[in-house]
Amino acid sequence: MPVPLKAGEVLRGRYKINRIIGQGGMGSIYLADDLRLEGRLCALKEVENDRSVPEDLLKEAREQFFREATVLARLDHPNLPKVSDYFSIGNRDYLVMDYVPGKDLRTMMMEARQANTFLTENDVLTWASQLADALTYLHSQDPPILHRDIKPSNLKVTPSGLVKLVDFGLVKFLAPGEVTVTILQGQGTALYTPLEQYGGDGGHTDVRSDIYAFGATLYHLLTNKAPADARERFLNPDSFVLPRSINPNISPRTERAILWAMGLHPSERPESVEQFRQSLLGDHPTIPAPYNRQITLRDALRLPPERSMAWVSLGLVLLSLVLTLLK
């Protein structure tokens, strides 16, 4: 792991390190004071390049970093932090973004769980609408931009209630029919990562990969429980627990929309974020039949005890009736 910068260090004669606010295997994220613009706080995302990589590959990776940083700097959306600068020092590259104050949604969810309650569906859907705005904007760029690491901890709510999708660490830029290299190598966070993203940079991902992570994030926020990851679901379908069996206050419509977004195969998901938003919030939602089905006895076994027993009892009565008719 790279040795982090110390508080008080100044980069490029402008950015004075305040403290670390995030850390990973390839670098850290720092809170810094902008000495040129008094009173402005910014977030510095650091990427340390692998010293063992051949020099020609390192040069190519750095050129790619600068190309993509240039694109990110052109983005302008209220639900995204503004990228204002980028530079390199030694073998480390830096991306400078607006610092976003407030709590991330993972922290808010954990506080709700500690209080033995859930975040309200109304609040979660309000945040979901703002996230949909940000993703629609990213996906509509030319070429489209994928975030690839949507999760509760990457969503911050400012004191004014504005949601910001932070951390561009796994951003990808889609060329027609293919996927280009990432700014930071990685596959996202397993709990929210679709199967096709497990292939790393060689796997084909598109806007539906972000939609899967969007749905998994809503599942976690509404239930206080992370969903079984895609690989586990593929190997063991029974590992997936229906959201309403954990939190019965979730509306059937919201549950159906989340199940649709979390389809294991991309073809089983909404084709766009806007289509997913309509399934959650639109006046005339259209959700495919498999996700509009009535609850089955198999589903009922995953419900809370009092509701589960009612369905099991009904199933036993029907089974008894069938056996009687067969005698």
Q: What is the DSSP string of 186-198?
A: ----GGG--GGGG
- Asked if the domains 10-98 and 103-307 are classified in one and the same CATH topology, the answer is no
Per-residue pLDDT, 78: 95
CB 317 within 8 Å of CB 310: no
* Domain 103-307: assigned CATH number: 1.10.510.10
Q: Which two tokens stand for residue 269?
A: 């998901």
Exactly one of 33, 133, 149, 229 is catalytic; which is it? 149
Q: What would the pLDDT profile of 65-103 be if each residue is shown by its tens digit?
A: 887 788 888 899 999 999 999 998 888 899 999 999 999
pLDDT in tens, 209-220: 999 999 999 999
Residues 130 and 121: their CA atoms lie apart, in Å, by 14
Q: Name the residue ranges covered by the structural domains of the chain.
A: 10-98, 103-307
Q: Which residue has the higher pLDDT, 54 or 318?
A: 54
188 pLDDT more than 80: no
Q: Residue 323 — pLDDT band, cuts 50, 70, 90?
A: low
Q: CB under 8 Å to 186, separation ≥6 — which residues?
A: 149, 169, 170
Answer yes or no: 149 catalytic: yes
pTM (2 d.p.): 0.80
pLDDT at 294: 42
CATH code of the domain made up of 10-98: 3.30.200.20
Radius of gyration of the chain (CA): 23
Instruction: Tell me how far apart the alpha carbons of residues 5 and 20 are, in angstroms, rounded to a whole number.
Output: 8
